[in-house]
Amino acid sequence: MAKNAEIGETKTDAYGTRENWPPYTYRDYPYIKPETYKSFMEFLTTENTSGRLMELQPWISVCDSKCAFCYFPTTATSKVKIEPYLELLKKELGMYAKTKYVKTSMFDEIVLGGGTPSVLEAEQMIDLIDFCKANFNINKEYFIKVTGSSKTLALPKIDKLAKYGVYQMDMGAQTFDDKLRKNLCLPDSAIDVEKAIRHARKLDLCVCVDLMYNLPGQTMESWISTLKKAIELDVEIDAYSLHVDPGTMLEKMIKTGVSPPTGDTEYEKQMYLTAYNMLTSAGYKAVGHDRYSRVEWHMRENCLNGWPWGGILTTGAGCFMGYLQKFSYSNLENINDYMATVKSGKLPISRLSESTNEDMMRRTMTRLYLRLPVSKAEFMQKFGSTPEKVFPKQLQKLKDKGLIEINDKEVRITKLGEIWKGNIAWEFAPNQT
Ligand SMILES: C[S@@+](CC[C@H](N)C(=O)[O-])C[C@H]1O[C@@H](n2cnc3c(N)ncnc32)[C@H](O)[C@@H]1O
C-alpha cells in the first residue's frame, strides 16, 4: 500500500470494516418504563454538580422534503401545524427549566436542530431562542447555532439571523455534485447551497457543512471536488460516511437497482483518508467524531469535551441526542404523539437509558471515539480505579494493533487509531470477545 504522508502510516489496516458509529447510541436505549421515568424525574430534582457547560438543543424535526438517505425522524412541513408545535416545544423546554438539575446547570450553546429549523420564519426561530435565553442559565460567552438547507434559508432570513446574533449556520450540503444531489432527492442545487454559504460568510457567520462520502455513484474525483469547494468556501466540515439505513428510500433504491450500491470497505476507507489528508493539508484539524475545523477554540467545544459528564438537553419530536450524565434519552418520533404527551404534562421521552457504573466506565472509554484522551486521574476520581485495571485485555489488544498510546497521565488514540476510532469504541462495548 502506498505511503500515506499526512496520516503518517504505511499500513492502514486494523479491522475488516470501519465502524462509523460507537456503541451506546439511541437505537440501543430501552423503551421508557414507569420505573426509569421515575428515576429520571428524581434525578432532575438533584443539583448539577458536574461543573460542565451544557448544550440546549430544541429540535424542529420538520422538513419540506425527505432526502433519500436520511434516517432522522422527521415530518413533512405540509403535515405539521407549526405554531402549536412551537408552543408545545416551549412547554417541554419549560418543564425541564423548572427542575433543580436544570436550574443549577449552565448552558453555553443553543442549537436549533432537526430536521430543518429553517422551515420556520426567522421571527419564529428568534422567538424560540429568546424563550431559551429567558428560561435557562446561559453562560456569558454563548453561541447560537441554527441548522438549515439553502432551499429554506432565503438570503433575507440569513440577514435577520445574523443581525440577531446567530453565530453559526449548520447546512446539510452533502455534495456539490448536482448529478448525485438529484439521485439523493436533495431539494436544492449545488449553486444554491454555494450562494447561501457565500452570503452567510460575507455576514461573518461561521458556516459548518455536512458532507457525505461513499454515496452511490460517487467517484473519487467528485468527492475531491466537493472537498475543494468546501475549502474554498472557508467552512467547517462534518464529513459523514453514508450509512444505508433500513427503511430509507435509498435502501429501497439500492435493493431494486434504481441506485448503484455504495463503494466497498476499502473504497470507503480511501474516501475517509482522502478527506483527512486534503483537509489537514488545508489547515484543518480533525476533531470530535466527524468534524474538521480551522478555528482553534471550536476544537475545545465544551459539551463534547465533557463527555460523558456534561450534557445535551435535547427537546422536540424525534430528538435523540439527549444525555444528562448517566441518563440518555430520545423523544417520541411521531409529532402528534409528541404533542399529545407534552399537552398532558408528561415529558415526551420514548427511550431512556440509565447507565450503571460499569456502563459509565465503558462510555468514558468512548472518549477515544471523539478523539479525546481518557485522563487516568479523572477515571480514578470517578471510579476509584484505572483504565488498565478495568479494561486490561482491550487496552493491550489496541496497543498491540498500534491504535492507542498509554502514558502515566492518559490513554489516547494514535494517528492510525483515528481511522479506526469507531472500532476502538466497540472494543469497550459489553459482550465483546
Ligand atoms: C437532519 S440532517 C440536518 C440537515 C438539514 N436537514 C439540511 O437540510 O441542511 C443531519 C445530517 O445527518 C447526515 N445524515 C443523514 N442521514 C445520514 C446517513 N444515512 N448516513 C450518514 N449521514 C447521514 C447528513 O449529512 C445530514 O445533513
In a domain, residue 163? The reply is yes
Backbone phi and psi for residue 25, each to the nearest 5 degrees, phi listed first: -105, 170
Length of the chain in residues, anyone? 433
Closest residue by Cα to atom 8, ligand 1, is 149
Looking from the CA of residue 212, the nearest atom of ligand 1 is 25
| pLDDT-based confidence at residue 8 (cuts at 50, 70, 90) | low
pLDDT of 378 reads 96
Q: From 94, 20, 56, 10, select the one nearest 271 (Cα to Cα).
A: 20
Looking from the CA of residue 244, the nearest atom of ligand 1 is 19
| pLDDT-based confidence at residue 3 (cuts at 50, 70, 90) | very low
Do 178 and 79 lie in one domain? The reply is yes
In a domain, residue 314? The reply is no
174 Cα–ligand 1 center, Å? 8
Q: Find the residues whose C-beta lies inside 6 A of ligand 1.
A: 63, 69-72, 114-116, 147-149, 171-172, 174, 210, 212, 240, 242-243, 245
Domain limit, last residue, from 238, 270, 305: 305
Looking from the CA of residue 211, the nearest atom of ligand 1 is 25
- 90 to each of 57, 74, 225, how far by Cα in Å? 12, 19, 42
pLDDT of 9 reads 53
pLDDT of 5 reads 44
| pLDDT-based confidence at residue 4 (cuts at 50, 70, 90) | very low
Helices (H) and strands (E) in the chain, counts: 18, 17
Backbone phi and psi for residue 355, each to the nearest 5 degrees, phi listed first: -75, 140
Residue-number span of the structural domain to which 408 is assigned: 357-433
Report the CATH number at residue 301.
Answer: 3.80.30.20
In a domain, residue 199? The reply is yes
Do 395 and 257 lie in one domain? The reply is no
In a domain, residue 167? The reply is yes
Coarse DSSP helix, strand, coil percentages of the chain, rounded to the nearest 5 percent: 40, 20, 35
Do 224 and 292 lie in one domain? The reply is yes
What is the β-pairing status of strands 206-213 and 285-287? Answer: unpaired
How many domains are there within the chain?
2
- 68 to each of 231, 256, 400, how far by Cα in Å? 26, 14, 41
Do 237 and 367 lie in one domain? The reply is no
- 7 to each of 118, 153, 271, 280, how far by Cα in Å? 37, 37, 13, 9
Q: Give the whole-angstrom CA distance, residue 312 versus residue 305.
A: 12
Looking from the CA of residue 151, the nearest atom of ligand 1 is 8
Which segment of 6-15, 47-56, 278-287, 388-397 scores lowest on mean pLDDT?
6-15
Average model confidence (pLDDT) for the chain? Answer: 94
In a domain, residue 231? The reply is yes
- pLDDT tens readout for residues 226-261: 999 999 999 999 999 999 999 999 999 999 999 999
Q: Give the whole-angstrom CA distance, residue 301 versus residue 167.
A: 14
Going through 120-188 in order, the beta strands assigned E by DSSP cover: 138-148, 168-174
How many CB atoms within 10 Å of residue 321?
Answer: 17
Backbone phi and psi for residue 240, each to the nearest 5 degrees, phi listed first: -105, 135
Do 394 and 284 lie in one domain? The reply is no
Do 370 and 294 lie in one domain? The reply is no
Report the CATH number at residue 387.
Answer: 1.10.10.920
Q: Give the whole-angstrom CA distance, residue 210 versus residue 267.
A: 20
Any idea which residue has 463527555 for its cell?
A: 307
Do 81 and 199 lie in one domain? The reply is yes
Question: Which of 18, 19, 65, 70 to mutate to test ligand 1, by most ligand atoms within 8 A of the CB atom?
Answer: 70
- pLDDT tens readout for residues 115-157: 999 999 999 999 999 999 999 999 999 999 999 998 888 899 9
Closest residue by Cα to atom 17, ligand 1, is 70
In a domain, residue 156? The reply is yes
